[in-house]
Amino acid sequence: MESIADRIARIQEQIAAAARQAGRAPEDITLIGISKLNPATAVAAAFQAGLRDFGESRVQEAEPKLATLAADRAQIRWHMIGHLQSNKAKKAAALFDMVHTVDSLRLAAALALARSSLPPPAPSLSILLQVNVSGEAAKAGFALAGWPQHAPIFAAFCGEVAQILALPGITVRGLMTIAPYSVDPLPTFRSARVLRAALAQRFPAADWSQLSMGMSDDFAAAVAEGATMVRVGRAIFGERR
C-alpha cells in the first residue's frame, strides 16, 4: 500500500507539474493536509514526511489533535477550514494560525476581539475571506454569484471588506473558495482569481496574496487558475470513515 509519505511526494509532484504548465513557480503553492476525521498519528506521519501545514474543520476535533502534536507546534501552521460559528471564535482564534472560512463581518469581528484579547505576543491572526462565487446554495461564504455583471454585489462586498480590514488582531491575506460538487470547477476558480484581482485594485494597501482553492479531486485545476494554497484530505490520508 502507498504510504502517506509516498502520497505526499506524488501530490507535490502533481502540484509542481500543474504550476510549471501554468508558468508558475511550484514553491508558490502550499499543500495543506486536511486531517479532519483522521487521527493525530496520521498527522505525525505526514509531518515526518515533511508536511508543515494542516487543516481541520471543527474546533472540537482540532483541540485534542493540536495538544497531541504540541511539541511540534512551532513548526506547524494550523488552518481552520470548516464553517465557524461566532461562539467558537474565541477558541479558534487561540488555536489556529489561519482561518480560511471567514464568511461574515460578524465572524471577523468576533475573531478580531478574541485574538486581541490573547496575551502578547500573540501575532495577528491571518484570515481568508470565503467567497461563494458559484451561487451554490449549500456553500457558505460571502454571496458573490454574478458579481462581475452586477456592480451592487461587488460594492456591497467592498463595504464589508473595508470594515474587516479596519479590525485589530486579524490580517486579511486573501480569498478562499470551494468549487461546487461534480460540475466543472474551473469557472469557480477563475471567478475567485478575478475577484481577488479586483479587490487588490480596490484595496491596494491590503494583502491579497493568498488564494485557497482546490481539493483532492481538483487541486491541479486550481493551481492552473492561480491557487496559492490547496487543501487536500483524501488523496493524502485516504477515504474518511
Ligand X SMILES: *Cc1c(COP(=O)(O)O)cnc(C)c1O
Q: Which residues bind ligand X (CB under 6 A)?
A: 34, 36, 57, 81-82, 178, 215-216, 231-235
Residue nearest ligand X, Cβ-based: 233
Nearer to ligand X, 167 or 178 (CB): 178
Query: Whose grid coordinates read 481539493?
Result: 215
C-alpha grid cell, residue 160: 464589508
Q: How far is the CB of 206 from ligand X (least distance, A)?
A: 23
Q: How far is the CB of 134 from ligand X (least distance, A)?
A: 14
Q: From CA 39, how far away is CA 17, in angstroms rounded? A: 30
DSSP three-state, residue 166 = coil
Question: Which of 73, 81, 66 lies closest to 32, judged by CA?
Answer: 81
Q: How far is the CB of 180 from ligand X (least distance, A)?
A: 13
Nearer to ligand X, 169 or 226 (CB): 226
C-alpha grid cell, residue 4: 502517506
DSSP three-state, residue 58 = coil
Q: How far is the CB of 143 from ligand X (least distance, A)?
A: 17
C-alpha grid cell, residue 20: 510549471
Q: From CA 28, how far away is CA 226, in angstroms rounded? A: 10
Nearer to ligand X, 196 or 231 (CB): 231
Q: Which amino acid is at 205?
A: A
Nearer to ligand X, 92 or 235 (CB): 235
Question: Which of 3, 2, 14 lies closest to 223, judged by CA?
Answer: 14
Nearer to ligand X, 4 or 235 (CB): 235
What end-to-end distance do the CA atoms of the chain give, in Å? 18
Nearer to ligand X, 35 or 191 (CB): 35
Q: How far is the CB of 82 from ligand X (least distance, A)?
A: 6
Q: How far is the CB of 241 from ligand X (least distance, A)?
A: 12
C-alpha grid cell, residue 108: 471577523
User: Residue 132's beta-bridge partner residues?
Assistant: 143
C-alpha grid cell, residue 30: 502550499
